[in-house]
Amino acid sequence: MHKLLYSTLVFALAVCLSLPANAGNPDRQGEAGAYELLMNPWARTAGLHTMTTSTVSGVEAMRLNIAGLVRIDKTQFEAGHAIYLEGTGLSLNAFGFAQKIGENTAIGVSLMSVSFGDIPVTTTTQPEGTGATFSPSFFNLGLGFSHIFENKVTVGVLVRSVNESIADLSANSFAIDAGVQYVTGEEDNFKLGISLRNIGAPMRFDGEGLSFTASIPKGSVTYNLTSNYRAADFELQSMLNIGASYDFLFGAYRLTALGNFTSNAFARDQIGAGLEFAMGSRFMLRGGYKYEIGSATAPPEEAPIYTGISVGASVGFDARDVDGSVKSHFAIDYAYRQTRQFGGTHNIAVRLDLH
């Protein structure tokens, strides 16, 4: 068993050391697609600016560090909604399910879609609009697996399908996430997490929307032939997260300090820290700050959309059996992330844990 643990940690560290050679390059910004893979529909992690690599658990782990999926009591359901960049008309909807299998293994399913609202159809001959509307469909489905060893090390892997489409065009691919979490300390105070996300095949749009009719003259005869434009491939938004946290325990109260580093393959690297205060499972208050390395000297048009500030809160309620034991736990989570333009991003989610 110990040999397996050491092998897992060595593999994770090897991945960490190999990725930064191609990461954090601002010159590559805009070269990748499927940006929805970076959007977070869940409120608990959004309240800490998606920096909970070391502490995330349950359904939300399938968006940040799949290793945390197994850290639930038995069953967890969660639904989330986000108003993305208020004023743009964009919103996120998500649902997730996590289930323990035995004592040390869990599986999970997560769904997320992006809603764009109704967009007017414009053409070169009718630039003000034809009167019709369309709405793109961005959707992904993730299937995750996580296992815990001796209540100290958890590992996990997730496969996610990625789909983007409109009426006459679509692009499909898949992405793989992998992660490790390590817990130590007298009361499991110290946590370390590493996750590698969105490693997958390039995407390319295809469909009738790329076809056109061309007139091909041959002598005195002209033939109308249908041809297709060539669409370029684009990469997925791959990234590496490394995070650590420490819990300060004061009886029924907990104060968690955490830090996180994100190495982006197609954007600047990010570093940040946050605090979460908890009164048992009844009430939690959290806030964080994330900084994009090098953004201070970047041109204004390359400044990050988020200012770096995030806040959030959770309120929970327990349902108990006649003997006083907790039967289930229901919670409502909220988060806000401030942006330089628009009205910020709002997240709200509801969770149900069955014990």
* Whole-number Å distance between alpha carbons of 242 and 335: 22
Render each residue's pLDDT in the chain as its tens digit; 355 residues.
Answer: 455 544 554 445 445 444 444 445 566 677 788 999 999 999 999 999 999 999 999 999 999 999 999 999 999 999 999 999 999 999 999 999 999 999 999 999 999 999 998 889 898 889 888 888 888 999 999 999 999 998 789 999 999 999 999 888 999 999 999 999 999 988 889 999 999 999 999 999 998 888 888 887 777 788 788 778 888 899 999 999 999 999 999 988 999 999 999 999 888 999 999 999 999 889 999 999 999 998 888 888 788 899 999 999 999 999 888 787 888 999 999 999 999 989 999 999 999 999 8
The strand pairing partners of 144, in sequence order, are: 108, 158
Question: What pTM was estimated for this model as a whole?
Answer: 0.87
Q: H or E segment at 244? A: strand 239-250
Query: What token pair was written down for 63?
Result: 């968006």
* Distance from C-alpha of 108 to C-alpha of 265, rounded to nearest angstrom: 27
Extract the tokens encoding 3.
């040999």
Number of domains into which the chain is organized: 1
**Which CATH number fits the domain that encloses residue 109?**
2.40.160.40
Cα–Cα distance for residue pair 86/212, rounded to 1 Å = 37
Give the closest residue to 231 by CA, choosing from 210, 212, 248, 216: 210
CB 175 within 8 A of CB 157: no
Residue whose entry in the numeric block shows the structure tokens 């793109």: 136
- What does the pLDDT read at residue 134? 87
- Straight-line distance from the first to the last Cα atom of the chain, in angstroms, rounded to the nearest whole number: 28
Return the H-helix or E-strand segment holding 16: helix 2-18
Distance CA 243, CA 179 (A): 11
Cα(173)–Cα(169) distance, integer angstroms: 14
Instruction: Give residue 235's pLDDT.
Output: 92
Question: How far apart (Å, rounded) are the C-alpha atoms in residues 207 and 332?
Answer: 42
pLDDT in the model for residue 19: 46
Range(s) of the domain holding residue 152: 2-354
